[in-house]
Amino acid sequence: MDPVYLRAAGTSLLLHFPAGQVEIAHYGADLGPTVPDPGALLPPIPNSALDVPIVAGLVPQASSGWPGRPGLRGSFVVDGRAGHGFSPALRVTNVDATADAVTVTQHDDALGLTLATHLRLHPGGLLEAAHTLSNRGTDPYQLDELAVVVPVSRQADEVLDLTGRWCREKHPQRARLRQGTWVRSGRHGRTGHDSSLLTALGTPGFANRTGQVWAAHFAWSGNHEQFVEQLADGRRMLGASELLGPGEVVLEPGASYSTPAFFAAYSDRGLDGVSTRFYDWFRARDHHVDTTSGRVRPVVLNTWEAVYFDHRLDALTELAASGAELGAERFVLDDGWFAGRRDDTAGLGDWVVDSQLWPDGLTPLIEAVNGLGMEFGLWVEPEMVNLDSDVAREHPDWVVGPAAGPGARLPLEWRQQHILDLTNPGAWRHVFDQLDALLAGNNIAYLKWDQNRDLTEHGSGGLSSVHEQTLAAYRLFDELRAAHPGVEIESCSSGGARVDLGILERTDRVWASDCNDALERQTIQRWTQSVLPPELVGSHVGPTHSHTTGRVHDISFRAITALFGHFGMEWDVRQATGAERETLKRAIALYKEHRALLHSGTRVNADLADEALRLHGVVGSDRAEGLFAAVSVASSYAEMPGTAPLPGLDPERTYRVAAVLPTEADADYANTFTQIQPPAWLRDGAFTATGAYLEHVGVQLPVLNPEHALLLHALQA
């Protein structure tokens, strides 16, 4: 068969077909318009080895001699016993290629297994890959794992991925790649606070703006594994798979299983180049938030850290009026509005308005909010249930557990709650009908959709069912969106525990973390936005005294941090001082002035030697302007910070760079800077330089106090 060669935006993919098999001969830099026959790249045969070259294949197989992690694990169940046909020999039967995509079909005649692999290189250079396995045999096939993998250059010698916990999601960890397999297992039944949104391999010392990087994301919201493997022969593989429970997927004759999508990005411009690949893909989607709605992302006022469960019409109306006066455009009523919900021990599962709290329903509040010129949003947690609820009392069999039948043991509680079995048709219909009625009967423009616990010991009818629960949840999102296409949905999962491209095919933004501490958010947002563009990442100004860390931060630092996302407030703004309110007004005005830039431009992150300083920003797609934040996250070892680059601007153009603070008076600068005299350009108010100068020399920074920030606006002169 002839090789297949795909090219887009500086990336290329080359497939060849040795001895009836298929292999990715190259994935990475663009090789130009023509390539030689990749058959010449078949490796030598070393001593003490198989007598033929080992082919990795699109799915590594022992039948091809692959000594590493297999891509397909499973077996047929014959006479009640699994294990038959444990080692398939899939060979290519068909190749269907277009200019930007290819589907390769492989078959094992003896076993009756067919595998179709779909590869597409999107216009922005992002590679999307997935498999579909079909059982054409006569016996059930128990699938244990089906992985998607891509090879990575031997020049890639370091691995970076992300980890975290509640209120500290998306923190990077980095190590030298060694022989063996580095595996990240997610067994939370959801994506997980510690899940790696991005797994990256790169050339030694790769950074934000330099080095070659191969990175991947697995678009699945359930159990999963991501892995990097280096074999003894030096080959490196980057892959992921759904982590299936015992017997979760058994393919009856004629049935099929499709993997979630695996997205891979190559960059020769460091991690920022990877982000650009993902941003281009997101923004090209027909249903991306700002292409379908035709409007910008509204300023949000969320009530959780303002009132918690204290829901009173007069107080909430006052809060709404206070937020509207600042410039809020969307008011979101959080947890506590539904039947029996006075704290977090009761009510989940009963999605009807509490008639004691709201004798006239939510209408008076919604009308008050709409009258102030704001949209109304509402918090829900449809996948969960309290035992103290009508639905749990009436349908105890709808509560998920590891065993079946009356009196069966339940999993341990988490935040006083359990999981509703959405794989049960009655339970799924109950949730859909209640939410459908809620949306049909009220002017609700937005749902904050929460999911506050792991799916531990997740079973239905005594069988492991995370796979089916995840698909049922997806179906619930899909059906509600189809019934109410004007309603936007946020994916919140006790903060950032369900942030992935699977859920983002069904939602309009994510809540990156329950932590509104601006210092923590600097890291959380930077790495969440390594894959997700800012318009998809909720970022709110929290209270002066952080509810989750106890830190106290200046209003300017909190506002600048929240600016680089989908901006909002989660704070009882009625309690803000006069100066704080003025700063908030200015911050909201800045967001409205620049949100078109922030939500369409290229995210950039400077490489700085001083770990106490960070500089990030967004540069417009036409490179006519950029908005940057210089951030001090700790006390520096140096008396003076020196210059910091403003990356991403056009090197040939000239820009006027000015400092921006959302504070009113010069006196407030004393809270931000520690210096007798600021840099000369800051005293003058601005300076002019070329994009090349700003990239390689940069801006002389003032001496920032720890945990403070300065906005810099670069506009083409």
Angle, alpha carbons 26-32-38 (nearest 5°): 40
Distances (CA, A) of 419 to 47, 210, 422: 55, 45, 9
Cα–Cα dist 7/123, whole Å: 9
Integer Cα distance of 484 and 482 in angstroms: 6
Cα–Cα nearest to 221, from 420, 428, 454, 430: 454
Is 204 exposed, middle or buried (CB count within 10 Å of its CB: 0-12, 13-18, 19+)?
Answer: exposed
DSSP letter at 273 equals: H
Could you tell me the two tokens for 95? 């190749």
Type of residue at 179 = Q
Collapsing DSSP to helix, strand or coil, 10 comes out as: coil
- Cα 223-214-11 angle, rounded to 5 deg: 120
Which uninterrupted H or E stretch holds 605? strand 602-605
Pairing between strand 300-302 and 566-569? parallel
Counting beta carbons within 10 angstroms of the beta carbon of residue 179, is it exposed (0 to 12), middle (13 to 18) or buried (19 or more)? Answer: exposed
What is the 3-state composition of the chain as percent helix, strand, coil, each rounded to the nearest 5?
Answer: 25, 30, 45
- List the beta strands (DSSP E) in 394-514: 418-419, 446-449, 459-460, 463-464, 488-491, 509-511
238 closest CA partner among 210, 218, 223:
218
C-alpha–C-alpha distance, residues 282 and 600, integer Å = 11
Which tokens is 693 given? 């100068």
Only one residue has tokens 């067994």, namely: 187
DSSP 8-state code for residue 371? H
CA 137 – CA 76 distance, rounded (Å): 9
Give the tokens for residue 596.
């078109």
Identify the CA nearest to 304 among candidates 553, 568, 559, 95. Answer: 568
Q: Which token pair is 678? A: 């600021």
CA distances from 139 to 123, 150, 284, 312, 599 (A): 42, 31, 43, 61, 52
SS3 675: coil
**Residue type at 657 in one-letter notation:** V
Residues with a catalytic annotation lie at 450, 514
Q: What is the CA radius of gyration of the chain?
A: 27
- Helix H or strand E segment including 176: strand 171-176
Q: Tokens for 260?
A: 């979630």
Residue length of the chain? 717
| Distance from chain centroid for Cα 171 | 13
Quote the CA–CA distance of 655 and 691 in Å, as a whole number: 7
Query: Quick check: 471 and 258 in contact, CB under 8 A?
Result: no
- Region for residue 536 given its phi and psi (left: phi exceeds 0; alpha: psi -120 to 50; beta: otherwise): alpha
Among residues 252, 258, 256, 257, which one has the least CA distance to residue 138?
Answer: 252
Cβ neighbourhood burial of 263 (10 Å; 0-12, 13-18, 19+): buried
Which 3-state string (H, E, C) describes 308-353? CCCCCHHHHHHHHHHHHHHCCCEEEECCCCECCCCCCCECCCCCCE
